[in-house]
Amino acid sequence: MSNNKKDEQLDAYRTDDQGKKLTTNQGLKMAEDEFSLKAGERGPTLLEDFHFREKMTHFDHERIPERIVHARGFAAHGEFELYESLEKYTKADFLTDTSKKTPVFVRFSTVAGSKGSSETVRDARGFSTKFYTEQGNYDLVGNNIPVFFIQDAIKFPDLVHALKPEPHNEMPQAASAHDTFWDFVANNQEAAHMVMWAMSDRAIPRSFRMMEGFGVHTFRLVNSQGQSHFVKFHWKPKLGTHSVVWDEAQKLSGKDADFHRGDLWESIENGEYPEYELGLQIIREEDEHSFDFDILDPTKLWPEEDVPVQLVGKMTLNRNVDNVFAETEQVAFHPGHVVPGIDFSNDPLLQGRLFSYTDTQLIRLGGPNFHELPINRPVCPFHNNQRDGYGRQTINVGQVSYHKNSLASNTPSPASPEEGGYEHYQEKVEGYKVRKRSESFKDHFSQARLFWNSMSEAEKGHITEAFSFELGKVGDSSVKQQVVDMFTNVDKELATSLADAIGATPPSEGAQHVNVSKSSPALSQENTKFSAHTRTVGLIISNNFNGKDISHILDHLRNEGVIIEVISDKQGKLQGDDGSEINVDHTFLTSESVLFDSIYAVGGPNLSKKFNHDAKYFIQEAFQHFKPIGATHDGKQWLEDNSLQNSPGVVISDDPDAFAKEFANAIAAHRHWSRDIVL
């Protein structure tokens, strides 16, 4: 467990009920908690039963409204360390003092689904970080996709209404594959770029630990001389950015709706702390207009090849929450929670968010005192003249609760910038009051095409398949056609394949996509980091395995950071030919190949027909999902029976040493897309 200022603060609120006597909320010990107070053993319950009333009333009020978006989330504590001072750009304390370890709380989420929905749905993921700095809380409330569907916050309610389950029948849950979402897209073409991301592998991440995070908007950094730079924030996962395949994602939704939280929880419990580096892209004020897009437009990214990402620090998530409701559910993020040295740009999406987040907390957390909840409290003191409201905890002493005053010597008093007081960047603004989209925001397709151009063949295949799936679920043929016509602007071939798949009219001969040939290799997951570290292997094995070989192979894999989980037909212990023992973690009934990154087939002699059938099914499915598969000893036969032995990413060997090395490399490669599979 980390030991930082936030943890110390939370300590004061932690309560361990174990081993204690049961009391009411008034502290009264109770002698009975199973039976309500009745008039006679078979008589009616009495109103005077204060214990029953208190217990039931509290229960009746246990739920709070779920978040209107990002309802399904999971969070962890950690800390942020800075590599070198960024005083050139900002006066923010936590970005200039390298000796500080800033406590953080990070919540990951899906966007569309309700609180109990599955985690491996096709969706953007929220990536919200609360930095508990000495200058107050700074919230970086981002997503795992660097652009957004819309350019102006006033459209957000429309977008969300279109995306959420349709109101007449509340279907489908946590999915964009339905008429209203695609109708919105076709009629709000600024969505093109983000839709490309949402149809890509980015929208089905393998793990919260293997996702990038993006602040999306352009923000400002302001240094102590008052100079400002435009900035975009990135989180780069140390394990690289990786995804599952769509068929696997859907099966995971059924087999383990908690797949992502389980992965994060287990990693932290096992001491495999997820790490992300903070990256900054910086543009000088004078270069604001030097790009072929408007840097205020949230549907645009800054290609990393043009504006490099500087890695400035590292965040480590090292502690699971004690209580999901108290922490994860009650945490209140807000892009407007800033510290000196960080400021906003005029991005109209960001500007609207600055209103929405406090507003939503007022209803969700039931009043204006949510900042007093333990998870939301800053680690520095806070003082002002705000008073009262539902659930107020602070006992403000004294007579004075107004400014300006003489009775308390005009305190609490504003702090000058030198004393750490926040000053808004003095940007010059002038113009007519208009409700308009800026001319500079009107190109919706160039970056959508840049993204497409940057994809590998496998990634392009996945995008085409995702579009075909989503539109295949749309009932209205006019909506389908509008989407085909719209994405002809991005790529004619994509639109042609899509039209073919969904029975729409393909683009006409004269139709052409936008003329953009540039690509940005950083956008492809083929160019991410690869490692076998924390990858899971389902080891299918039975009694009488070759003890010496297996222990050699497993030792090697474990040294590479691979996690082995043993699968057999029954739980309990298995015996090797040398008397060694191995514990079975799962049976064929309690697990499924989709739950593992790879399969290692060992088998054993004289297996039942059912064992052979189940093992082959596991292997076949893992193969279809392009996963690495290893086989030694009796396990080789299963691959041969299915004619899989000569495929990419399938490692078979009689030499334990060579096998272990080659298999570890195959695991690190994540997926083997060159496999000959007809999707």
Please report, as ranges, the residues that interact with ligand HDE according to CB under 6 A: 67-70, 73, 107, 109, 126, 128, 141-143, 148, 153, 156, 216, 331, 333, 349, 352-353, 356-357, 360
625 is catalytic: no
The count of C-alpha atoms lying within 13 angstroms of the C-alpha of 531, restricted to the half-sphere facing its C-beta, is 15
Taking the C-alpha atoms of residue 253 and residue 329, their distance in angstroms, rounded to an integer, is 22
Instruction: Residue 669: count other Cβ atoms within 10 Å of its Cβ.
Output: 16
Minimal CB distance to ligand HDE: which residue? 126
Shortest Cβ 335–ligand HDE spacing (Å): 7
Instruction: Residue 667: count other Cβ atoms within 10 Å of its Cβ.
Output: 28
Residue 600: its H or E element: strand 598-603
Taking the C-alpha atoms of residue 464 and residue 586, their distance in angstroms, rounded to an integer, is 36
Question: Do 239 and 525 form a contact (C-beta atoms < 8 A)?
Answer: no
- The single residue of 137, 143, 320, 489 carrying the catalytic annotation is 143
Q: Which residues contact 620 (CB under 8 A, 6 or more apart)?
A: 642, 644
Question: Do 205 and 124 form a contact (C-beta atoms < 8 A)?
Answer: no
Sign of CA dihedral 487, 493, 499, 501: negative
- The single residue of 70, 234, 337, 670 carrying the catalytic annotation is 70
Strands (E), 36-124: 73-82, 101-110
Taking the C-alpha atoms of residue 425 and residue 219, their distance in angstroms, rounded to an integer, is 11
Closest to ligand HDE by CB, 153 or 532: 153
Strands (E), 62-216: 73-82, 101-110, 125-133, 136-143, 213-214
Residue 540: its H or E element: strand 536-541
| Tokens, residue 373 | 């909840």
Question: Do 450 and 299 form a contact (C-beta atoms < 8 A)?
Answer: no
Burial of 39 (0-12, 13-18, 19+ CB in 10 A): exposed
70 is catalytic: yes
Torsion from C-alpha of 510, 513, 515, 519, nearest 10 degrees: -150
Q: Which residues contact 232 (CB under 8 A, 6 or more apart)?
A: 146, 214, 215, 216, 217, 218, 219, 280, 281, 301, 302, 307
Kindly list the catalytic residues.
Answer: 70, 143
